[in-house]
A and B are shown apart, each in its own frame.
Chain A
Amino acid sequence: MNPFSYARPTRIEEAISLFGPQSRYIAGGTNLLDLMKENVERPEQLIDITQLPLKSIEETPEGGVRIGALVSNADLAWHALIERRYPLLAKAILAGASPQLRNMASTGGNLLQRTRCYYFYDSTVPCNKRERGSGCPARDGLNRIHAILGHSEQCIAVHPSDMCVALAALDAVVLVTGPQGERRVDFRDFHRLPGDQPERDNTLADGELITAIELPAAGYAEHSAYLKLRDRASYAFALVSVAAALEIDGGIIRSARIALGGVAHKPWRCTEAEDALVGEPAEQSAFEQAAQRILQGASGFEHNAFKIELSQRAIVRALTEATEGTAA
């Protein structure tokens, strides 16, 4: 790590006013310090936000839940309200990282995880995300863990979070405060596709701070499933993951949410496929059609083309499991 100065504000406004061009906010630090040790991140100042009052989980007047950005992943997954009303979120969180990391990692920080692309992490090789214009060796190199959807000439990296896949499916809203004041960002607009600016993972402006995540009232508690496929049974990033949530009435789908992880630069949603499920019987053939619709336009590289077929099967499986009822 490079030498840096350190500040520990106790008020949000103070934290934002401290933020300079070479600053980074730090909460759990589980990814930022990781990247700093690899010299991928080299901030000159760390602003420790752990003393800010952003640690509560509260019900909102609209019947949803507001999660403070500093709530740890573990506390969130094991919170009674989340376990009962948003089991999809709890399961996705527990599928990610390790218990130790989940105890440190914050809710806000989870959204800001950076890709696990090998080339991004190895600062001796080119990477457009790390150094604009340096090239993308993954395209013609090792791309087994890379994107099949929404990738660009410049970047084929994927977002590594599990929590975010569930948040995407649940239509969460990200609450942000910055130098220009507060704003609410729909989850689907929070992360972005790489395009020709792969260095930008999300739509946060400089100095903006995530303060909370809001979940709408609909938690799909009865019919949801999080399926994560990876190279070992635990403690590995997803090759493909699926957050599936259904509202079923008399065997007929009334509402459907499907988000994919491990396949794109952001959690992947396809509302056309979800809409097409509404009114259909909750059965294999409908699920297969939805999966095909979601994967339309997917394209792989030398080592990751399997993810297309795997995603289709995973979607079908997750929807089948969701139909059977959320697992205990």
Chain B
Amino acid sequence: MTDPSANTGGIATCSMTIMLNGESRALDVYPWTTLLDLLREQLDLTGTKKGCDHGQCGACTVLLNGKRINACLTLAIMHEDAELTTIEGLASDEALHPMQAAFVTHDAFQCGYCTPGQICSAVGMVAEGRAQSADEIREQMSGNLCRCGAYPNILAAIEAAMPETRNRVGVFESGAPSGGHDGVREVKP
């Protein structure tokens, strides 16, 4: 793990807090630490994967304020007080999240490396509420590459888990389900 006290040429770490998987965390981060490296290297939350580090594969997908994003292309320091949900925060103590369970049942992965990103992305997609048909799910899951090629099973898992995921409360309490944005003034035409 990165030693946050390491000397870096005069630029010190910054203190910040983030709500991570329902828990408030006080952190010291360098400005250049991406959200992904914060999770993987500093907090040992390695469920969020680094597949390309350039927003080209989706393996690092997490839910930031309820919305799916690539953790590799954003700086940790930019998310003071944000709510972050990673794959480690989806299951409750007793049970897998319905999307996780459906991925197991439908064998929606092989090697498992893209899987946390696929699942977070799928949960985010359901919350967006824009994918209704199989083709829409395919299109809206296209930001998550699966080199093993488990796409048909991923589709099947998502279709199966969609109703229960939609009804699930808790994970998205702070995230706007669609259209809105914190601070965006909705105009009623």
Which residues of A approach B to under 8 Å, CB–CB?
1-6, 8, 26, 28-30, 33-34, 37-38, 46, 48, 50, 53, 55-59, 68, 71-72, 74-75, 78-81, 84-85, 97-101, 103-104, 233-235
Contact = CB atoms under 8 A, between A and B. Distances in A.
B147 interface: no
A2 B121 CA distance: 30
Nearest to B188: A80
B130 interface: yes
Nearest to A85: B189
B55 interface: yes
Nearest to A27: B78
B74 A55 contact: no
B64 to A, nearest CB: 8
Interface stretch (B40-48, B92-100, B161-169, B179-187): B179-187
B11 interface: yes
A136 to B, nearest CB: 23
Contacts of A99: 68, 121, 124-125, 128, 140, 143
B11 A5 contact: yes
A38 B17 CA distance: 29
A58 B178 contact: no
Contact of A4 (B32, B34, B58): B32
A283 to B, nearest CB: 31
A104 B130 contact: no
Contact of B142 (A30, A103, A235): A235
B39 to A, nearest CB: 15
5 contacts: A55-B182, A78-B178, A98-B55, A99-B121, A101-B70
A5 B58 CA distance: 28
Contacts of B130: 78
B181 A59 contact: no
Contacts of B54: 34, 37-38
A29 B78 contact: yes
Report the contact-size class of chain B (Cβ under 8 Å from the partner): 35 or more
Interface in B133-189: 139-140, 142-145, 178-187, 189
Interface of B: 8-9, 11, 14, 30-32, 34, 53-55, 58, 61, 64, 67-70, 72-75, 77-78, 121, 124-125, 128, 130, 139-140, 142-145, 178-187, 189
Contacts of B74: 28-30, 33, 104
Nearest to B77: A6
A26 B145 CA distance: 27
Nearest to A29: B74
Nearest to B30: A3
Nearest to A78: B179
A303 to B, nearest CB: 22
B121 A6 contact: no
Contacts of A56: 183-185
B184 A57 contact: yes
Given A6-B31, A34-B54, A98-B58, A57 B187 contact: yes
B58 A100 contact: yes
Given A46-B31, A104-B74, A55 B128 contact: no
B62 to A, nearest CB: 9
Nearest to A102: B143
Given A100-B58, A233-B139, 5 more contacts: A26-B78, A80-B186, A101-B55, A101-B73, A101-B143
**Most chain B CB neighbours (cut-off 10 Å) among A2, A6, A26, A29:** A6
Contact of B187 (A34, A81, A234): A81
A104 B73 contact: yes
B137 to A, nearest CB: 11
B61 A100 contact: yes
Nearest to A75: B181
Contact of B78 (A50, A55, A81): A50
Contact of B53 (A30, A37, A50): A37
Contacts of B9: 3
A75 B180 CA distance: 6
A71 B143 contact: no
Contacts of B186: 57, 80
B189 A80 contact: yes
B70 A48 contact: no
Contacts of B68: 99-100, 103
B179 A80 contact: yes
B67 A57 contact: no
A72 B65 CA distance: 14
Contacts of A29: 73-75, 78
